[in-house]
Amino acid sequence: MAPPQGSRAPLEFGGPLGAAALMLLLPVTMFHLLLVARSGPARLLGPPPYLPGLEELWSPWALLLCLTWLGLQAALYLLPARKVAEGQELKDKSRLRYPINGFQALVLTALLVGLGVSAGLPLSALPEMLLPLAFAATLTAFIFSLLLYLKALVAPASALAPGGNSGSLIYDFFLGRELNPRICSFDFKYFCELRPGLIGWVLINLALLMQEAELRGSPSLAMWLVNGFQLLYVADALWYEEAVLTTMDIIHDGFGFMLAFGDLAWVPFTYSLQAQFLLYHPQPLGWPLASFICLINAVGYYIFRGANSQKNTFRKNPSDPRVADLETISTATGRRLLVSGWWGMVRHPNYLGDLIMALAWSLPCGVFHLLPYFYFLYFTALLVHREDRDERQCLQKYGLAWHEYCRRVPYRIVPYVY
């Protein structure tokens, strides 16, 4: 199929071959992690303990549960919102509107789950179903991406993403053709990015904590820390939901297999890896070390939130008193770039904070296994690659001004290191 005129962008992720490899590698990695986390040696780099047959992966109940979960989150998305935010300006100069009720969805889900558990809902049985649930989520993501691809065939050219329209079926299916696929006001990408996967992740963590309590009398301190840190991260994402409207995923990337699988399967089933590991491999953790790990998480969170809020405040209103005194450089587009405050320290201070938190989430699992550090390693690779993509996009947008910013702020993520 010929790409629409004027939409050729350089291929990313290694082109069609890279996209095909990632489409295979990502689900395989997810299942590997799920299997290894419950095995005795829990070796990240070793073979999985066994290869599950289709009868262990496929369960109509798991698919039903997965679809019910999506339905519940979609219903919560459609509830009246405390605010409706406008997104960035699109190619046709219009702006889309987004409901801001993600935190409300988290609280209502917590209430429903609380009611369910007190009425006898066996939440602690969930860890036993992780394999079939992950399989159902992968299947759902695959079918959903296919429907999104077909929907994009009839979308107007102005609705297409800058990247996912190369003309290669595999590549475009992976990256996503349409920028903001919607039915009426229901925005699929925005919905998936923040709701089912993120809230599903904390629910899986909670189920693992409850199962640990059943097995050992009470949850371990390490399990509490992992649950607490990750709940803070998810609650923060939903509290500051509007900020997601300025992320690369919403502004630049189409909605295809990468994000559909990432949001619906990868996030809940691999980001809960530390809690999965702790259920099967309890780790002793004393209060002094736990306090130190809490401090690391707090430092990471402080940088992450400070940097993200500073940029969002500045982008919304550069004269806001909280950012008005910061030094900036002008660009030909009329938008300015911050060169002091968090954004004068490194070019991606928010990534630095996120990485420090990622380390704090693994440390409660001890230092004798590499497996719980998978998230930290994967996340480092993801952010280094993402930073590189963002630099290229900023260079294209801001040209000489971006070179000047790089001269003034030479380090990318870690001061004096990278």
Ligand X SMILES: NC(=O)C1=CN([C@@H]2O[C@H](COP(=O)(O)OP(=O)(O)OC[C@H]3O[C@@H](n4cnc5c(N)ncnc54)[C@H](OP(=O)(O)O)[C@@H]3O)[C@@H](O)[C@H]2O)C=CC1
Determine if 23 is a binding residue for ligand LWLCTGZJ (CB under 6 A). Answer: no
For residues 318-344, one letter each, b for 16 or more C-beta atoms within 10 angstroms of the residue's C-beta and e for the rest, the string is: eeeeebeebebeebeeeebbbbebbbb
Determine if 353 is a binding residue for ligand LWLCTGZJ (CB under 6 A). Answer: no
Binding mask 196-215 for ligand LWLCTGZJ (x = CB under 6 A): --------------------
Of 181, 199, 198, 197, nearest to 189 (Cα)?
181
**Binder of ligand X out of 315, 380, 392, 411 (CB under 6 A):** 315
**Binder of ligand X out of 98, 190, 257, 343 (CB under 6 A):** 343
66 touches 136 (CB < 8 A): yes
Considering the complex, what minimum distance in angstroms separates the CB of residue 201 from ligand X? 10
Dist. CA 20–CA 24, nearest whole Å: 7
Determine if 311 is a binding residue for ligand X (CB under 6 A). Answer: yes
Q: How far is CA 315 from CA 183, 230, 240, 359, in A?
A: 28, 27, 15, 29
Of 260, 285, 308, nearest to 372 (Cα)?
285
Question: What is the four-CA torsion angle of 228, 231, 235, 236, rounded to 10 degrees?
Answer: 70
Task: Tokens 């066996």: give the residue.
Answer: 122
Question: Binding to ligand LWLCTGZJ (CB under 6 A): which residues in 256-315?
Answer: 258, 261-263, 266-267
**The amino acid at 236:** D
Determine if 253 is a binding residue for ligand X (CB under 6 A). Answer: no
* Among 105-113, 146-154, 241-249, 406-414, the segment contacting ligand LWLCTGZJ (CB under 6 A): 241-249
Considering the complex, what minimum distance in angstroms separates the CB of residue 225 from ligand X? 18
* Among 2-10, 56-64, 158-166, 236-244, the segment contacting ligand LWLCTGZJ (CB under 6 A): 236-244
**Binder of ligand LWLCTGZJ out of 12, 178, 187, 249 (CB under 6 A):** 249
C-alpha atoms less than 13 angstroms from C-alpha of 286 in its C-beta half-sphere: 2
Residue whose CB is less far from ligand LWLCTGZJ, 31 or 261:
261
Choosing among ligand LWLCTGZJ, ligand X, none, which partner's interface includes residue 26 (Cβ < 5 to 8 Å by kind)?
ligand LWLCTGZJ
Question: What is the four-CA torsion angle of 385, 390, 392, 395, rounded to 10 degrees?
Answer: -150
- The footprint of ligand X (CB under 6 A) covers 246-248, 304, 308, 311, 314-315, 335, 337-338, 343, 348, 350-351, 354, 382, 386, 390, 393-394
